[in-house]
Structure 1
Amino acid sequence: MAQATQRTGPTRGDRQRERTRRRLLDAGRMLITERGVAGLRIQEITERADVALGSFYNHFSTKEELVEAVVTESLTDLAATASTPSAPDSDPAEAVAISCFRFIRLAYEEPDFAQLLVNLSSADALFDTTIHPYARAALERGIDSGRFVIPDLEVTLTAVISSALALIRQILAAHHEAGSEYAYTRHVLASLGLTPADAEAVTAAARLT
């Protein structure tokens, strides 16, 4: 008796569900950009996505859950882009500096998105969970190359990630002038074992990229 062929990979139904989720996320992102979150309604999202209203609840329990998914996806894209080395032999310290700039600059260049992030009830956990794997990879690369001297990787990751979000909050609250990303970057590089002069030089070089 012939055995049934075992199915591998996503089914047609799986692909359809993923397409629907993608349309909901894209529609949510566009509406948030246009109007913000306060007036966002689930019916508007499904109408913009051109899917049935009931389809929303197959993917998200609440509007807030969709908003979190949109923010998480945006942060993931930024982290992946910012942490990718420009070349295999590029300076790990410069890569970290560029990442620091890009995240802190969210508060200056994309204040609406940054405000949306910090206003989420799960902001701290979401930011840490999203950024952590990329930050870990960047610091491990520096450790392996001998560029960074980090006595405790986990403590350093917690300090760097949590302080980035704290600074973003402070900038949005107008407690810091423009240029805070440079002071933050120098501080991070110094905490990774660079001398003050080296941290200053790397920050200056990354500033030009």
Structure 2
Amino acid sequence: MSPKIPPAAGESRYDRRRARTRGVLLAAGRHLIAANGVASLKIQDITEQADVGLGSFYNHFANKEELVEAVVEDSLAEMASTAGINESNRHQDPAVTTGLAVLRIVGMAFDDPDLARVLVHLDHSDLVYSRAMGPQATAVVEAGVEAGRFVVPDVDVVVHNVVAGSLALIRRILDGEHDESVIAVQAELSLRLLGLGVAEAAEIAARCVEISRSETAG
């Protein structure tokens, strides 16, 4: 008898189908939260928006709150992946990394306002946002301190101020209080908070704007 050949490594058709269903549920949840907020979110509305049966929802999530948490986690992961603060896309200069991260994170309010609204509509958005961004931001600041690039009295306090300030600014942008020029201002202020001088912080923030534009154009 021929030996039994094990199945090829990778996802099965069933796994792929489950992943697709979960994806459309998350997309529907993100859309409805952005449009109406979390308080008015209903499971029936989610399944109708996703065009799936009610049973499919409960195959993936125990309740509405669990879906909201998953939406937030996916949203923050997407934001972090484009923020310039993970290992794969850090720049050699921690100041440039920080400036680009601030530009991209705050820029989400303009580039993807639906995603930004998902974040700001959460009851505990500040805590969730800080937990998601804090570890990566802390690593960048610590690297900058070790390299002598940043001078800060307390890394945790500075990171909290930079992260919380960025989220607060996202809220104000969504409320129509600022135009896109405020993003570079936030990058400059964040760099000054990390110990850079006024002139250097302004120069690096301007350089980060040019880098960001060239990457977008490319």
Give the structure-1-normalised TM-score. 0.78
Partner Cα separation in structure 2 for residue 34 and residue 115 of structure 1: 10
Q: Which runs of 5 or more residues in structure 2 are unaligned? A: 1-10, 212-218
Residues 1:126 and 2:128 aligned together: yes
Report the 3-state secondary structure (helix = DSSP H, G, I; strand = E; otherwise coil) of the residue aligned with 2:177. Answer: coil
* 1: CA distance, partners of 2:144 / 2:54: 48
Residue 172 of structure 1: CA displacement? 1.1
Instruction: Give the stretch that moved more between structures: 38-47 or 117-126.
Output: 38-47
- Tell me, yes or no, if structure 1 residue 29 matches structure 2 residue 26: yes
TM-fit CA distance, 1:208: 1.1
User: Paired residue for 1:7?
Assistant: none
Cα distance between partner residues in 2 of 1:182 and 1:122: 27
Task: Report how many residues are paired.
Answer: 195
- Change in Cα spacing, 1:88 to 1:28, as seen in structure 2 (3 Å) is closer
Residue 91 of structure 1: how far off its partner (Å): 0.8
Q: Give the distance between the partners of 1:84 and 1:130, measured in 2 at CA.
A: 12
Structure-2 separation of matches of 1:26 and 1:197:
46
- Report the Cα distance in structure 2 between the residues aligned to 1:131 and 1:158, rounded to whole angstroms: 10
Q: Is the 8 A contact 1:76 1:131 kept in 2?
A: no
Asked whether the 8 Å contact 1:85–1:95 carries over to 2, the reply is: no
Of 167, 170, 183, 2:169 maps to 167
| Shift, 1:96, TM fit | 0.6
Q: Residue 84 of structure 1: CA displacement?
A: 3.3
> Residues 86, 205 of structure 1: CA spacing in aligned structure 2 closer, same or farther, 3 A cutoff?
farther
How far off is 1:65 after superposition? Answer: 2.7
1:68 matched residue in structure 2: 69
The answer on whether the counterparts of 1:135 and 1:157 sit within 8 Å (CA) in structure 2 is: yes
Q: Per the alignment, do residues 30 and 87 of structure 1 end up closer, same or farther by CA in structure 2, a change over 3 Å counting?
A: closer
Query: In the alignment, which residue of structure 1 is the partner of 2:105?
Result: 103
Alpha-carbon separation, structure 2, partners of 1:87 and 1:70: 24
- 1:181 counterpart letter in structure 2: I
Residues 42 and 134 (structure 1), Cα distance of their counterparts in 2 relative to 1, 3 Å cut:
same
What percent of counterpart residues are identical?
37
Report 1:1-209 matches (<5 A): 20=18, 22-32=19-29, 36=34, 38=36, 42=43, 48=50, 53-54=54-55, 56-57=57-58, 59-82=60-83, 83-84=85-86, 90-209=92-211
Report the Cα offset of residue 178 of structure 1. 2.5
Q: Displacement, 1:40?
A: 6.0
Q: Residue type matched to 1:176 in 2?
A: H
CA RMSD of aligned residues (A): 3.1
Task: Tell me how far 1:144 sits from its aligned partner.
Answer: 1.7
Deviating beyond 3 angstroms after TM superposition, the runs of 4 or more aligned structure 1 residues are 16-20, 22-25, 32-50, 52-59, 84-89
| TM-fit CA distance, 1:86 | 6.8
* Contact 1:104-1:164 within 8 A present in 2 as well: yes
Q: Cα distance 1:87–1:159, how it changes in 2: closer, same or farther (>3 A)?
A: closer
Instruction: Tell me the CA shift for residue 202 of structure 1.
Output: 0.8
Counterpart amino acid of residue 123 in structure 1: S
Describe the superposition over 1:78-119 as per-residue Cα deviations: whole angstroms up to 9, x where unpaired.
Answer: 214421367777111001100000111111221122122111
User: Taking structure 2 as the reference length, what is the TM-score of the superposition?
Assistant: 0.75
